[in-house]
Amino acid sequence: MAKCDQCGRQENMPYRCRYCGGTFCGDHRLPENHACPGLENWNDPKGVFDSGFDDSVRHPDGRTGGILESVPGVGSGATVGGRGGVLAYFRGNLAYTLLALMWVTFLLQLALQFVLPPRTWAAIFLLSTEHPLYVWTWLTSMFAHGGFGHIVVNSIVLYFFGPIVERRVGSRAFLALFLVAGLVAGLAQTGTALFLGETSRVLGASGAIMGVMGVLTVLNPQLRVYLYFILPLPLWVITIGFAAYSVFIALGGGIGAGGTAHLAHLGGLVVGLAYGEWLRRQGERAPEQLRFGTRRGPGGPGGRF
């Protein structure tokens, strides 16, 4: 027996939606019958709900909608940005796109270290109290990282948890969540440092990722996560433990203690928790378990997140 996410009816043979991961009865199994977020990521004027990866789907005008037809110059009538165009690859895969941008930025910053003067390099990638009005750093610092281990940890979290939240809220809302949480995280750290008369340099995506984790914590606090791939714990325990640790260290050693921007972590988490609570009140919920393999710190001086 399972409960339908849409109407609450108990179902002996429930259906699981391949696009959002929800559980539904026979009446609400189709994406259009349960307000599936996947419908928001697909703009098909012909009304065919097609993933773009199945050549067997036939559209009214004879197109198959397969993946080859999505490549400009290969498929018939394919256009950049249209249905099945290049931008179609990003629908439902924005978490992986952001992950790729993180690595591209990281490799670029490593290469430019050997070309640019340190001050110029910092002016491009670091959000700092020295130049808080370099507004481009509000974005670039979000994708730059302080080292290989730093980006690897952030990548693992985004890879596993990002697609879950994206499937639930849609790609556009996921992008807004990521950018707003990252922006609030960086400005919370540097703004507080300026208020206290301290110096702070910020880079990293941890604040944005904590926003993603905050949403998931509210929508499914009992989601079981293996800490360090070994210790099984409910997600709410990990989130509260991480927040408590950040508060404790910040109060004891300062907002940039240990080269980690604790206020940035907390700022991103607050954004995620607030958005998750708003979604919860709208009746949203996350999948009951992680399903791997399916498609769909900034700090004080020199700190990172």
Distance CA 182, CA 270 (A): 11
Decide: 149 and 204 in contact? Cβ < 8 Å. no
Name which of 233, 236, 264 is nearest 249 in CA terms.
264
pLDDT at 264 over 80: yes
Q: Say whether 146 sits in a helix, a strand or coil.
A: coil
Question: Cα separation of 172 and 54, whole Å?
Answer: 24
Across the range 229-244, mean pLDDT stands at 82
Residue 126 pLDDT exceeds 60: yes
**What is the token pair recorded at 18?**
């391949």
pLDDT digits (tens, 9 = 90+) for 141-191: 999 998 898 899 899 989 988 998 998 888 889 999 999 999 999 898 888
Question: Tell me, what's the pLDDT at 282?
Answer: 79
Residue holding tokens 């990990």? 238
- C-alpha distances (whole Å) from 17 to each of 26, 104, 167, 236, 294 are 11, 33, 11, 25, 12
pLDDT digits (tens, 9 = 90+) for 278-292: 988 877 665 544 443
Domains and CATH numbers, the chain: 1-40 (4.10.1110.10), 48-88 (no CATH), 94-281 (1.20.1540.10)
Give percent above pLDDT 90 in the chain.
24
The pLDDT assigned to 25 comes to: 81
- Report pLDDT for 9: 79
Give the pLDDT score at 26. Answer: 76
269: confidence class by pLDDT, cuts 50, 70, 90: very high
SS3 222: coil
- Tell me the torsion sign for CA atoms 267, 272, 277, 278: positive
Q: Which of the two residues, 19 and 295, has the higher pLDDT score?
A: 19
Q: What is the DSSP code string of 19-70? A: TT--EE-GGG-SGGGTT-HHHHT---TT-----S--TT---TTS----TGGG
Residue 104 is predicted with a pLDDT of 95
Residue 58 confidence (pLDDT) above 50: no
**Given this model, what pLDDT does residue 41 score?**
55
Q: Is 27 exposed, middle or buried (0-12, 13-18, 19+ CB in 10 A)?
A: middle
* pTM assigned to the model: 0.65
Angular region, 300: left φ>0, alpha ψ -120 to 50, beta rest: beta
Q: What is the pLDDT, as a whole number, of residue 65?
A: 43
Whole-number pLDDT of residue 289: 47
Contact between residue 211 and residue 269 where contact means Cβ atoms under 8 Å apart: yes
Residue 72 belongs to what H/E stretch? none
